[in-house]
């Protein structure tokens, strides 16, 4: 990819897919502001990336909180200037037998994985200046689980389905403004979150995490998990001029696991 100027805000940017996105965008010349819940993780990640020559900064934030989100977006603008790219990546896993899911788990899953996307997007379009960008990008990390459903993952599937619906509605709303809106839908990706997912399935199924991994790999036509870098590669492409006509899409990166 060619070098590109611009300012990107990436939530959940200290590990997994988010960190891979930060690295790719920054390597192409964007100034990237990242966040995570833990200040220590933000500080250490920013330090490491700056040592690699990347123009990166960040701040801790709770993406479930409108006030925290406003402070985050303000900090990003104060540091680098108005946003041109927003990547809503922050999220969490969780689930179980639906009849046994607690209110607390359900609401936190929706707050973290869905409501945060609305809060960040609203703040980016207003406080962040993204609504005034000549060619802006909003990219939401959803999931194939938001299209097909995940057994024992009802709250996760519900939240990610909501992200896809929000993406398509907003894309049509903003279509004439120069801001495109798309969702990237990973399948099974080897991240710290994936380790927790396998652990929970192993406990529910009374088996080993290795057995769960083997079962999941068997379901994937390519026979393996995708990598964070592969997911980030699509996010990176969607920020380029070559993707100007791509909007209102929910694009899979899943090794053939999802086919729509």
Residue 201: the pLDDT is 86
Domain containing 64 — which CATH number?
3.40.50.720
Is 12 inside a domain boundary? yes
Give me the domain span that covers residue 202: 190-225
Asked whether residue 66 falls in the same domain as residue 182, the answer is yes
Asked whether residue 220 falls in the same domain as residue 171, the answer is no
Same domain assignment for residues 102 and 210 = no
Active-site residue 156, yes or no? yes
Q: Is residue 216 part of a domain?
A: yes
- Alpha-carbon distances of 255 from 99, 144, 219, 230, rounded to whole Å: 31, 11, 10, 10
Q: Which of 106, 104, 98, 84 is nearest to 8 (CA)?
A: 84
Both 135 and 203 in one domain: the answer is no
* 217 lies in the same domain as 146: no
User: What does the pLDDT read at residue 29?
Assistant: 97
Q: Check whether residue 91 and residue 132 sit in a common domain.
A: yes
Q: What is the Cα–Cα distance from 16 to 147, expressed in whole angstroms?
A: 22
Q: What is the pLDDT along the chain (260 residues), one digit of tens a residue?
A: 445 689 999 999 999 999 999 999 999 999 999 999 999 999 999 999 999 999 999 999 999 999 999 999 999 999 999 999 999 999 999 999 999 999 999 999 999 999 999 999 999 999 999 999 889 999 999 999 999 999 999 999 999 999 999 999 999 999 999 999 999 999 999 888 788 888 888 888 899 999 988 988 999 999 999 999 999 999 999 999 999 999 999 999 999 999 88
- Is the domain of 150 the same as that of 195? no
Residues 38, 148 within the same domain: yes
Total domains in the chain come to 2
Whether 98 is covered by a domain: the verdict is yes
- Same domain for 62 and 151, yes or no, is yes
Instruction: Out of 107, 156, 201, 260, pick the active-site residue.
Output: 156
Residue 1 inside a domain? The answer is no
Q: How many CB atoms are closer than 10 A to CB 255?
A: 21
63: nearest Cα among 32, 87, 30, 94: 87
Q: Are the C-beta atoms of 142 and 250 separated by less than 8 Å? A: yes
Do 47 and 102 reside in the same domain of the chain? yes
The whole-number pLDDT of residue 193 equals 79
The pLDDT of residue 4 is 66
Are 79 and 32 in contact, with CB atoms under 8 Å apart? no
């Amino acid at each position: 990819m060619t070098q590109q100027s611009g300012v990107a805000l990436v939530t959940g940017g200290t590990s997994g897919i988010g960190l891979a996105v930060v690295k790719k965008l920054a390597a192409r010349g964007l100034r990237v502001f990242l966040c995570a819940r833990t200040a220590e993780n933000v500080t250490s990640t920013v330090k490491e990336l700056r040592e690699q020559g990347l123009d990166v900064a960040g701040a801790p934030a709770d993406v479930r909180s409108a006030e925290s989100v406003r402070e985050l977006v303000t900090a990003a603008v104060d540091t680098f200037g108005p946003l041109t790219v927003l990547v809503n990546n922050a999220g969490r896993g969780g689930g179980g037998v639906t009849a046994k899911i607690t209110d607390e788990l359900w609401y936190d899953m929706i707050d973290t994985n869905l409501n945060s996307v609305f809060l960040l997007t609203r703040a980016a379009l207003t406080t962040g200046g993204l609504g005034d960008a000549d060619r802006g990008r909003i990219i939401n990390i959803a999931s194939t689980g938001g299209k097909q459903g995940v057994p024992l993952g009802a709250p996760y599937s519900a939240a990610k389905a909501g992200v896809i619906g929000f993406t398509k509605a907003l894309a049509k709303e903003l279509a004439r403004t120069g801001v495109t809106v798309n969702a990237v839908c990973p399948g099974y990706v080897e991240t710290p979150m994936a380790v927790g997912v396998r652990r929970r399935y192993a406990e529910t199924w009374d088996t080993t995490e290795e057995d769960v991994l083997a079962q999941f790999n068997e379901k994937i036509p390519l026979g393996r998990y995708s990598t964070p870098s592969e997911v980030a590669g699509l996010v990176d492409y969607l920020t380029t001029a070559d993707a100007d006509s791509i909007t209102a899409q929910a694009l899979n990166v899943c090794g053939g696991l999802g086919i729509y």
